[in-house]
């Protein structure tokens, strides 16, 4: 197949970019031609070029944007529109040049431009739904004309692809979308696997061998509730001074987290790594004895999937996305949203019970093995071949109708 994927791509700091990259790499490894159309900031252009060189089979073209678009309650509609408008000329060039069999929209676009161009050329496309943007649309928070542009694009898609089953009731049904094909996202169970701490990395972060490490891994958006992690840390340290709290990632809440840790008198027991390239995240995950993800809402948290695959004891919030991954007391612990006291109690409980941590970790690894990135790529490959077969005039060589 000859495929164009337009959407977030590393070094964008978010799960959508990671999923798109994993999907593109898996499809390229299977011999499909993959071309990426994405954005980057001037500050991250060097990182983007280095990432692209690691995957020479994939052609990547990028436009410059002032900032990456990260979504909390609703997207920055002007930024999303601007990015879509900048990508439109690249899309037209690539459609003329490569004549793709199908297109993947790796995120809901900010204009009708891509949809209009693809439908006029009778090129089938799918739209991947990651969470924040589609939830804003389904709840009525998205303003016009963006809401109409997104609804028209979703309705024209051969399929919309939610990354989690819980999104069907949450967003697909309210929007009245009928051509829906759920493909749960997944983490690599090869890169993310149980193992010992990297002693050099621990030393670099001033983590002692006797420290019990509690990690939070995210882009530190407010919806991830990272301040709950800091407040729970302060509560936990009252009875367990051997705990060390590790924040892996960067984002809008980092300065507030650092200031809060200082104000609470626990700055010496909190480490901030800054943003970490995703290829390095497995080493950071293996530093942790406990992983804490206190999000207000999620589609299907990659960090939770990665913690499960790494065989770590996971504490996360009792929300629909988490209940699809974590069975309370079996492969993790669930706590109410924004209940900092219960979050702290769960951390202290796990810190005191090494056997419980080990049991949860083993069960977590077993759960993660049920959904591999290879299985995810299989599902996308089958879906794409299906929509191509439904358009016989666009059948590539070797694909039967």
Residue pair 284/47 in contact (Cβ under 8 Å)? The answer is no
Mean pLDDT of the chain: 93
Identify the band that residue 75 occupies on the pLDDT scale cut at 50, 70 and 90: confident
pLDDT digits (tens, 9 = 90+) for 161-197: 999 999 999 999 999 999 999 999 999 999 999 999 9
Q: Among 3.40.50.2000, 3.50.50.60, 3.40.50.300, 3.90.1200.10, what is the CATH number of 2-186+372-394?
A: 3.40.50.2000
Higher-pLDDT residue of 236, 251: 236
Residue 391 banded pLDDT, cuts 50, 70, 90: confident
Domain borders along the chain are 2-186+372-394, 199-368
Report percent pLDDT > 90 for the chain.
83
Q: What is the pTM of this model?
A: 0.89
Question: How does pLDDT run across 315-348, given as a tens digit for each residue?
Answer: 999 999 999 899 999 999 999 999 999 999 999 9
Residue 13's pLDDT is what? 75
Q: Does pLDDT of 131 surpass 60?
A: yes
Q: Is the pLDDT of residue 393 over 80?
A: no
Class of domain 199-368: alpha beta
Write the CB contacts of 229 (distance below 8 Å, at least 6 apart in sequence). Answer: 216, 245, 247, 257, 292, 294, 343
Beta bridge partners of 249: 274
For 270-312, the pLDDT digits (tens) are 999 999 989 999 999 999 999 999 999 898 899 999 999 999 9
User: pLDDT at position 70, please?
Assistant: 65
Return the bridge partners of 271, or none.
246
pLDDT value at 267 more than 60: yes
H or E stretch at 50: helix 45-53
User: pLDDT class for 25, splitting at 50, 70, 90?
Assistant: very high
Cα separation, 142 vs 306, whole angstroms: 31
> Considering all CA atoms of the chain, what is the largest pairwise distance in Å, rounded to the nearest integer?
68
CA 190 to CA 193: how far, in whole Å? 6
Separation in Å, CA 168 to CA 129, 136, 176, 379? 11, 15, 10, 17
> pLDDT confidence of 396, banded at 50, 70, 90?
low
């Amino acid at each position: 197949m000859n495929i164009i994927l337009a959407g977030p791509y590393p070094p964008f700091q978010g799960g959508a970019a990671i999923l798109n990259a994993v999907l593109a790499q898996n499809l390229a490894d299977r011999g499909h031609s993959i071309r990426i159309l994405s954005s980057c900031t001037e500050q991250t252009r060097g990182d983007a070029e280095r990432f692209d060189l690691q995957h020479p089979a994939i052609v990547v073209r990028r436009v410059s944007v002032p900032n990456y678009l990260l979504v909390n309650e609703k997207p920055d509609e002007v930024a999303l529109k601007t990015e879509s408008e900048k990508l439109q000329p690249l899309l037209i060039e690539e459609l003329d040049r490569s004549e793709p069999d199908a297109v993947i929209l790796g995120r809901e676009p900010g204009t009708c431009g891509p949809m209009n161009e693809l439908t006029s050329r009778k090129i089938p496309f799918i739209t991947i739904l990651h969470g924040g943007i589609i939830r804003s649309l389904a709840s009525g928070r998205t303003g016009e004309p963006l809401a109409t542009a997104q609804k028209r694009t979703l309705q024209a898609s051969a399929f919309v692809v939610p990354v989690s089953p819980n999104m069907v009731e949450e967003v697909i049904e309210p929007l009245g979308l009928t051509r829906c094909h759920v493909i749960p996202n997944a983490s690599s169970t090869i890169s993310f696997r149980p193992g010992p701490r990297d002693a050099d990395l621990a030393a670099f972060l001033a983590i002692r061998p006797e420290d019990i490490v509690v990690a939070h891994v995210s882009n530190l958006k407010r919806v991830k509730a990272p301040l709950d992690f800091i407040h729970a840390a302060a509560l936990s340290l009252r009875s367990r001074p051997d705990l060390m709290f590790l924040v892996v990632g960067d984002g809008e809440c980092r300065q507030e987290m650092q200031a809060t840790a200082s104000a609470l008198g626990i700055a010496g027991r909190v480490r901030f790594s800054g943003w970490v390239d995703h290829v390095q995240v497995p080493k950071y995950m293996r530093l942790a004895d406990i992983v804490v993800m206190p999000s207000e809402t999620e589609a299907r948290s990659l960090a939770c999937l990665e913690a499960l695959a790494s065989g770590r004891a996971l504490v996360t919030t009792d929300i629909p996305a988490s209940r699809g991954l974590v069975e309370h007391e079996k492969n993790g612990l669930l706590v109410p949203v924004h209940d900092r006291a219960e979050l702290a109690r769960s951390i202290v409980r796990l810190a005191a019970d090494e056997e419980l941590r080990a049991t949860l970790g083993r069960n977590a690894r077993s759960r993660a093995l049920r959904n591999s990135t290879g299985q995810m790529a299989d599902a996308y490959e089958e879906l794409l071949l299906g929509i191509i077969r439904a358009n016989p005039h666009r059948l590539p060589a070797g694909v039967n109708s």
